[in-house]
Amino acid sequence: METKVEINLNPYKERVKLARVIKPIGKVTRVIGLMIEVQGIIARIGEVCEIVVQDEPEPVQAEVVGFRDQFSLLMPLGELKGIYPGCAVVPSGKALTIKVGKHLWGKVLDGLGRPIEDKTVLNQGEEFKVDNPPPNPLKRRRIKTVLVTGIRAIDGLLTCGKGQRIGIFSGSGVGKSTLLGMIARNGSADVNVIALIGERGREVLEFLEEDLGPEGMARSIVVAATSDQPALVRLKGAFVATAIAEYFRNQGLDVTLMMDSVTRFAMAQREIGLAVGEPPATKGYTPSVFAILPKLLERSGMGHKGSITAFYTVLVDGDDLNEPVADAVRGILDGHIVLSRTLASRNHFPAVDVLQSVSRLMPDITSNEHQSRAGMIKELLATYLKSEDLINIGAYSSGSNPKIDRALAKYEEIVAFLKQSPTEYSSYEDTLGSLVSLVEEGM
């Protein structure tokens, strides 16, 4: 009796479907700034092409970003050096993908997802698309669990949930990187994915060694696209980091995604938009900037299994929290933490301005008692700051206003609660206990 052997031909059918028997080869006709004009190819927006350069071992990768008349407009995923008129251009037939797996833990990748130093893991892992749609809104699970950051100011007064998306807004030099390092070291996530977009090259190693440290690096994956990289590489760095976080979320893990900064991501998209020919709109930003921000930010959050809790830093120009990118990001995210230059100048770190900050999900994930105590502390702090000038010049006499008296008595304790050294860790139980003592003692 003959035994029938069934062979699964589906993988081969997919390969045949995607295969191109004849590859159209185009040629470079013109290079203007960052834009490469190519004639003779048929390629989709987002498709990666290879530009063959003589005397170079590897072709230059470029992505199709637009069209003009009969020409395709490409931007390089590398250096333009060596490209000349007539260079052969070969479409790959697919968009950018990366190799992802647990082997990346503890590694530093470039903006295209390739290991910067450890080349032994270059071809390991599972191939994963960089550009993915956000999760189906009806299949996202509700956020019900507190994410412990180990930072009293956040856990006590701006409690975040597992799967929440939070913006960290501040000017330059106010402590964003240090705060991200504290969250990475102290947080309760299974894995951290950290994107350094448009950072100075000097700051990357500093962040790894000082802010992140060996303990934080052991369960982190860092994607570094420094400011000297082409605009498209800086843009892709943000999407690569998000794709890595999505891969681990799909495995059912709780991921913390940290991106520094969304502003430099927006600037990279502005460069690309202006090069393609988009008109500058709001304060020089092109319309595509505000179209691409939700496509990036909506990809994080809860999935049908696993979660991505995201912290996005926003570098505000001149400490103006209402500038266009900051305003757009604040409207998309589930909360914002504002870092104050005034507090930083007083050596108050982390310089979290709890009165300007808000966690939109705090009422859903904390008890009524916790919310009440946090509200009372904010009220005391606001009362003191409103009367600070009177107190400092001696114009306020004790007993005139019971509310100000309570605020004056508690101010130093509140400041001590909010201040925390980068190496200090505060458990959630200790933070809640400190809240109780702050509110109840002497009230």
> At 124, is the pLDDT very low, low, confident or very high (cuts 50, 70, 90)?
confident
pLDDT of residue 216: 81
What is the pairing mode between strands 301-302 and 307-315? antiparallel
pLDDT of residue 32: 87
Mean pLDDT within 180-208: 87
Higher local confidence (pLDDT), 113 or 118: 113
Mean pLDDT within 197-212: 84
Give the H/E segment covering residue 377: helix 368-392
pTM across the whole model: 0.88
Spell out the long-range contacts of 78-84 with Cβ–Cβ below 8 A and sequence spacing 24 or more.
78/230, 78/233, 79/230, 80/31, 80/34, 80/36, 80/230, 82/53, 82/54, 82/55, 82/56, 83/28, 83/31, 83/36, 83/51, 83/53, 84/28, 84/53
Residue pLDDT, tens place only, 404-437: 889 888 999 999 999 999 989 999 999 999 999 9
Mean pLDDT within 35-40: 93
Lowest-confidence range among 5-9, 47-51, 277-281? 5-9
Please determine, for residue 191, whether its predicted confidence score (pLDDT) is greater than 60.
yes
Spell out the long-range contacts of 370-379 with Cβ–Cβ below 8 A and sequence spacing 24 or more.
370/159, 370/432, 370/435, 373/435, 373/436, 373/438, 373/439, 374/156, 374/157, 374/159, 374/435, 376/439, 377/156, 377/157, 377/414, 377/417, 377/435, 377/438, 377/439, 378/157, 378/354
Please determine, for residue 2, whether its predicted confidence score (pLDDT) is greater than 60.
no
Mean pLDDT within 89-102: 91
Spell out the long-range contacts of 28-32 with Cβ–Cβ below 8 A and sequence spacing 24 or more.
28/83, 28/84, 28/85, 28/86, 28/87, 28/89, 29/71, 29/85, 30/85, 31/80, 31/83, 32/275
